[in-house]
Structure formats: structure tokens, C-alpha cells
Amino acid sequence: MDKILEVKGLSQVYGPGCDLCFTSTGPEFETNICPHCGSIVALHDLNFDLYKGEILGIMGESGSGKSTAVKCLYFDQIPYSGSALFFDETEQKRLFELNPAQRRSLRNHRFGMVYQNANLGLNFDISAGGNIAERLLMSQVMNYREIRERARELLARTEVLTERMDELPKNFSGGMQQRVQIAKALATRPPLLFLDEVTTGLDLSVQAKILDLILEIQSELNTAMIVVTHDLGVIRLLAGRTLVMKYGRVIERGLTDQILEDPQHAYTQQLVASAL
Amino acid sequence: MTNKPLLMVENLSKTFFLHEQNKVIPSSSQVNLTVYAGKLTALIGPTGAGKSSVLKSIYRTYLPSSGRLLYESATGGILDLALALEHRILELRREEIGFVTQFLHTLPRQKTLDVVAMPLYRQGVNKQEGRARAAELLAELNIPERLWEVPPATFSGGEKQRVNLARGLIASPRLLLLDEPTASLDAETTDRVVALIQRKKEQGVGMLAIFHHADLVKRMADEVVELSVPVGS
């Protein structure tokens, strides 16, 4: 088993930050707002390893810092402190020390992201096929016919009607938009995929199909994934290991079946007991 | 076949702490047992003695509260399953340790053939071969062929149990944990299951199994460990 990502001490603070931020926030203070400077400690001291083909779940309620974690790793945000090492085939890359061009290159070629909100992941002013073409162009596929063929293939794979590939994704249903996002994210066959609340707000039947699709992709392409969700069902279905977060901290981690059947922390016990 | 133990459980105890009620629930207490390759150790005792908790602790679905779970792995010497890294446990689950739980949990919408073949897929066996081997095992366990392409959600208790058993046996793990593998089966089907378990034993699979019927213990067990209900529960 090979490691693909190693995250150490990842922290994120919104606001000026002060020396007391980390020692006066967190689960034991029941807040992530620093009482001294008013900054929000969105994430503090996140550590984990991810292996090739593995799905790691990050679970927690709104404001627990779970989305912040993947946004930092996908370069949507610059973290306050910490390090992340990406094992890219034979090379190792320190994510937060890369220059903007290197970061863009990783985002375009090696990472994929699917957001809860499709308009963050898709350009609504160009067609579904165009969205995928855009990503392929950025990774140097230049031949028009090849691009169109590949876009068609990807949309078919994610069960988007290929007759609709020239339509604008803003006219699509929520489930269909997520499929286009997944197709776009997969266009470059990235070894690492971030999924941020991808099924939240969708109909149950649509959720089920999207989750099936994600599992199929994982077994076909051996893609490593970080799945951020507040939904225990999603965690149970997808993740082998799970981190539970609250007030920006990991309060419990373990094998997913252990987290769900023998939760240790009071908060996790409460979450599991509240599941429908 | 060597007489070296595959698994040695030493003084295993498991308690649960319920934060909301500030309550300690004892489950298994001071359990000692050994499992050998090619042998079956039966775990018996009344309801509430913590038999399932022992299996779940070995599989790390539960975190043991104290004790050692020494397992001799195929690749890397002896390790304590209570302390092994999560990735190592996942690897052992994929390659060496199987668990047939009391109730079948599957991915919804997954067809029975794929449910059974899943442990093989995880080891890199292709779909065609996996399904062929699953079909063989399902036939042996008397699951009608018309059910193979259907998800097991609507199956009877006994059918589900056999699907669960087939999934546990298909990859011939080195250590197999069985939680009442014949609980809801009729006599004839039980005989088939017993025959299959015997064959796996002969192939060298070490087993730890919970049984409720003395008759089954007599037919299959090489060693018997009896648990009693822990004090304070």
C-alpha cells in the first residue's frame, strides 16, 4: 500500500489571529471564536495519511472545519499553518510551498474536486461538454475531435444524457449538475479526488445513484478520495476510515465501522445516536 | 500443519462507556482463548456474556478496553490487533481475516453475486472470475439461481445468512470469525453449511465461532471456550 498524501498540523484561522487563538478555542471551550482577538479558528492541527485508492471520511456538523480542510488541500484557501506532502508517482510535492503555476498544474491534472454547490465547480455560462473540454484543454489535450469524444465518454460514464452535452448546466437538475461535476473532475483521471458534501440537498434516489457512481469509480480507477459530509449514511457507504470533527478539531478517528458501532467521544456517541 | 496458534486472546475485556448516561456497561470480561490453523474454537455461553463483543474486538469493530489479541500474520510476524495501525487492520481484513456477522449488511442495490464476490474483487480478482466462484458457492449452499442477480434485501433470514457465509468463506481467509453461522437454517441446510465449514478447516482456515446448540459444538469444535455474564451487568 502506497501513501498518496500526508497532512501534518494543518490549521486555518480567519481574522488577525493571536498567540492565544489555539489555546482558547476548541471542543472543551465549545467555540471556535477566539475570545481575545475575535478570529475564527476554522481548523487546528489536522493530521492524517491517505493511501492510494482509499476513501477517507471527514464527518462533522456545519462549522466543524471539514470543508476548510479540503479547500486548503485543493488550494482554494491558503492555510494559516501546517504542511501537506503529495506523493505524485515518483515525485514528492510540498503543497503549501508550491508556486501558483505549480499549484494550478496540480489542480488541473492531479486533483479533482466536487463541490456541494455545483456553480463553484462548473462554469454555468458554457455547455456541459464545454466544462469538461475546459479541463482537458488545461491539461494539454488540444485536438477538437479528441476533446469532444472524451467529454462524451465521460458524460456517458457518469450517466448524463450525451444529447444534452451542448446545453448549459444551469438548466440541469441538481443531480445532473453533480454528475457533470464528477465527469469534469475525472477528466484527467486524477489519483486524488475531494468530495465536499456532494449529495447534500439531493433527492434520496438521486443521492443513491451518485454514491453508487462514486464507488464504481473508486474500484475502476483506484482513485483516493476525501469525502466530507455530515451524513452518517454517506460515511458508512463510502469511507474505510473516518475522522470526526468539532470546532475545528479532530475529536475522534478510526475505522468507519468502529466509529459507528463503538464511538468513544461523547459527541460522536450523540451523532450516532441521532442517526435516522 | 503446525501447532502454532494463529490467534491468542489474553485477558480481553470490553466495556462501553455511555457519556450521556454516565454509565459503564461491561460486555466481555477476562476472556482467554486460542485459535489454531485448521481448527475451530467454539465460543459458548449465555446471552449477554459478550461473545459477539469478543469477535468484534478481534475485528476492531470494537476497541478492546484491555487485554492482548496476538495474531500471527502471513507476512509480518505477531501483532496485537488491539494496537495495530488502522491501515494494517484494513489490509488484514482484505487479505487474512474474515468475519461472518450475525446479520447481513450489504451495500443496497448490490446484486447477490457481487455481494459474495466482493472480498475477491478487493483482492484484485476480475469480475468474471469472482462471479463464477460466487455462483459455485451459492449453489453449494442451496441458494436458488433465480436469486443470484437480485440484491439480498428481500431474502429470507436463512438465505441472507447463507449469502453472508458465502461472502465470508469465498476468499478463504486465514482466520474466520463466525457469529452463529447456522442460527436460522433448517436441518438439511445446516448439514450443507457444516460440510462446507469442515472443508475449509481441512484447507487450513482457523475459525472462532459462536454457537448456541451443543450439537453443533460437538460436530465442529476442536476447542470450546465458555464465557459467563460479567459481574455488574
CATH of the domain at B58: 3.40.50.300
Which of chain A's residues have a Cβ under 8 Å away from the Cβ of B90? Answer: 240-241, 255
Most confident of A8-17, A209-218, B73-82: A8-17
Distance, in angstroms, between A18 CA and closest chain B CA?
A: 34
Q: Mean per-residue pLDDT for A35-50?
A: 97
The reply to whether B63 and B168 lie within a common domain is no
Residue in A208, A240, A257 nearest the CB of B61:
A257
pLDDT in the model for residue A54: 95
CA B83 to chain centre: 20
Residue in B60, B87, B109 nearest the CB of A208:
B109
The reply to whether B158 and B73 lie within a common domain is no
Choosing from B124, B145, B172, the residue where a domain stops is: B172
- pLDDT of residue B1 exceeding 50, the answer is no
The reply to whether B217 and B147 lie within a common domain is no
Q: Mean per-residue pLDDT for A111-138?
A: 93
The reply to whether B9 and B77 lie within a common domain is yes
CA distance B72 to B94: 16
pLDDT in the model for residue B212: 87
CA distance A183 to A160: 9
- How many CB atoms lie under 10 A from the CB of residue B81? 22
The reply to whether B189 and B167 lie within a common domain is no
Amino acid letter for position B136: E
- Judge whether B152 and B75 are in contact, CB under 8 Å: no
The reply to whether B180 and B227 lie within a common domain is yes
Q: Do B63 and A49 touch (CB under 8 A)?
A: no
CA A252 to chain centre: 19
Residue percentage of chain A with pLDDT more than 70: 100
For B157-211, how does the pLDDT look when each residue is reduced to its tens digit (9 = 90+)?
A: 999 999 999 999 999 999 999 999 888 788 999 999 999 999 999 999 999 999 9
Domain annotation for chain A: domains and CATH numbers: 3-274 (3.40.50.300)
pLDDT in the model for residue B88: 94
Residue in A1, A237, A269 nearest the CB of B20:
A269
* Interface membership of B89 toward A (CB under 8 Å): yes
The reply to whether B188 and B144 lie within a common domain is no
Which pTM does this prediction carry? Answer: 0.93
Number of domains in chain B: 2
CA A47 to chain centre: 16
Q: Do A258 and B109 touch (CB under 8 A)?
A: no
The reply to whether B72 and B166 lie within a common domain is no
Residue in B61, B86, B90 nearest the CB of A261:
B61
Residues spanned by the domain of B132: 105-172
The reply to whether B209 and B127 lie within a common domain is no
For A54-112, how does the pLDDT look when each residue is reduced to its tens digit (9 = 90+)?
A: 999 999 988 899 999 999 999 999 999 999 999 998 999 999 999 999 999 999 999 99
Say if strands B206-210 and B175-179 run parallel, antiparallel, or are unpaired.
Answer: parallel
* Interface membership of B125 toward A (CB under 8 Å): no
The reply to whether B11 and B74 lie within a common domain is yes
The reply to whether B153 and B57 lie within a common domain is no
> Average pLDDT, whole number, for chain A?
93
* Interface membership of B16 toward A (CB under 8 Å): yes
The reply to whether B75 and B20 lie within a common domain is yes
For A163-194, how does the pLDDT look when each residue is reduced to its tens digit (9 = 90+)?
A: 999 999 999 999 999 999 999 999 999 999 99
Is residue A220 very low, low, confident or very high in pLDDT (cuts 50, 70, 90)?
confident
